[in-house]
């Protein structure tokens, strides 16, 4: 199984409901020992930081064209803890409800992320943001550039 490392970050200006963007850096070392890198980013006209954190992960996983072993690095506790602390399992068991706190936010993206990771073996790792980690810094640059670009898509799930 091919091993891929994915780094992700999301950004939003005027969170919530301002423009935002995500950045994703994907790395793969081929059988000859050569490093291949792919960068992904996109801006959205009205969104939230958490939605962009999720979109960064989704974009990376959806870009993979075969089952992979993935080490995924994010500075978002929201994303990483959902899997490592098994929050997502509880949300699903409770039909996407958090009990007294009400429904889980961003259900559309959580479901899309689950579908995108289905065929992969994904290990989530938290990395401290804005702490000099080269790939995390690059993801932040991609995300903020996309958020500021004016070349935005509509985040169709923002109001759901």
Q: Is 9 one of the catalytic residues?
A: yes
Q: Is 17 one of the catalytic residues?
A: no
Q: Is 130 one of the catalytic residues?
A: yes
- Catalytic-labelled residue, pool 20, 23, 43, 140: 140
- Catalytic-labelled residue, pool 23, 43, 53, 155: 53
* Sheet strands side by side (includes 35-47): 121-126, 68-74, 2-12, 18-29, 35-47, 152-153
Q: Residue 44: CB partners within 8 Å, gap ≥ 6?
A: 19, 20, 21, 51, 52, 55, 147, 152, 153, 154, 155, 158
Residue 140 annotated as part of some ligand binding site: yes
- Catalytic-labelled residue, pool 89, 118, 125, 130: 130
Residue 131 annotated as part of some ligand binding site: no
Q: Is 133 one of the catalytic residues?
A: no
Q: Is 53 one of the catalytic residues?
A: yes
Residues catalogued as catalytic: 9-10, 53, 75, 130, 140
| Binding site residue list for Mg(2+) | 9, 53, 75, 140
């Amino acid at each position: 199984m091919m091993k891929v490392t994915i780094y992700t970050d999301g950004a939003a200006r005027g969170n919530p409901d301002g423009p935002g963007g995500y950045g994703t850096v994907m790395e793969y070392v081929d059988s000859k020992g050569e490093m291949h890198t792919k960068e992904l980013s996109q801006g959205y006209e009205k969104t939230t930081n958490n939605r962009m954190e999720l979109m960064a992960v989704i974009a990376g996983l959806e870009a993979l064209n075969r089952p992979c072993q993935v080490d995924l690095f994010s500075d978002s506790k929201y994303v990483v803890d959902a899997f490592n602390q098994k929050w997502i399992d509880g949300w699903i068991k409770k039909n996407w409800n958090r009990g007294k706190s009400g429904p889980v936010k961003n259900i559309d993206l959580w479901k899309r992320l689950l579908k995108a990771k289905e065929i992969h073996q994904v290990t989530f790792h938290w990395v401290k943001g804005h702490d000099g980690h080269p790939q995390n810094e690059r993801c932040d640059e991609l995300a903020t550039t996309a958020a500021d670009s004016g070349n935005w898509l509509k985040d169709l799930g923002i109001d759901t």
